[in-house]
């Protein structure tokens, strides 16, 4: 099973950084983004956001892409967006190999990307979520449904928790 994330022209580096962190936590290897806004913002930074510097996050290959569907041709594109005909996340059956496409913080997924998506899923909330929170919600739901017995042992991988001092 493989999953990847595509962010359409994200606006804020903190959201991309939090999405990278979420991908690392759930074992997602690829995070792609489109558009120019992140490139402009990253060139202005004198230091990478904390998420990109943390141990373990090197497992996520994050990069700008002008042809994301060509880069990941074996994954089924799923648009995460509120629109007529969207399936609600609690009833959604995740494809084993999925590319989850998220729109920007200040808009919707552009038409050229939507054209590639044949499935649409919406997160039922009272109002829209932050981009990073939407990514985390979808990846949690995916894991809960496809790998319900997967053990998440952060103490063993990050040296945290009550067992950190035990031999």
In the chain, where the domains are located: 2-145
Specify the DSSP element, H or E, that contains 98: strand 97-102
pLDDT surpasses 60 at 161:
no
For residue 43, what pLDDT is reported? 58
Each residue's pLDDT tens digit, 62-97: 899 999 999 999 999 999 999 999 999 999 999 999
Strand stretches in 15-137, DSSP E:
30-33, 61-64, 76-80, 87-88, 97-102, 119-122
Considering the entire predicted model, what is its pTM? 0.85
Q: pLDDT-based confidence at 41, cuts 50/70/90?
A: low
Distance (Å, rounded) from C-alpha 101 to C-alpha 19? 12
User: Given this structure, which CATH class describes domain 2-145?
Assistant: alpha beta
């Amino acid at each position: 099973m493989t999953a990847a994330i595509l962010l359409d022209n994200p606006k804020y580096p903190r959201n991309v950084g939090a999405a990278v962190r979420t991908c690392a936590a759930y074992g997602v290897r690829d995070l792609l983004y489109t558009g120019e806004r992140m490139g402009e913002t990253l060139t202005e930074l004198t230091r990478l956001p904390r998420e990109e510097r943390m141990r373990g996050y090197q497992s996520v290959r994050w990069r700008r892409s002008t042809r994301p569907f060509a880069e990941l041709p074996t994954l089924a594109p799923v648009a995460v967006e509120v629109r007529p005909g969207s399936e609600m996340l609690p009833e959604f059956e995740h494809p084993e190999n999925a590319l989850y496409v998220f729109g920007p913080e200040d808009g919707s997924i552009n038409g050229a990307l939507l054209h590639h998506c044949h499935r649409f899923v919406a997160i039922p909330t009272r109002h829209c979520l932050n981009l990073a929170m939407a990514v985390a919600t979808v990846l949690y739901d995916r894991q809960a449904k496809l790998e319900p017995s997967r053990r998440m042992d952060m103490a063993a991988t990050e040296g945290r928790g009550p067992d950190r001092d035990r031999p």
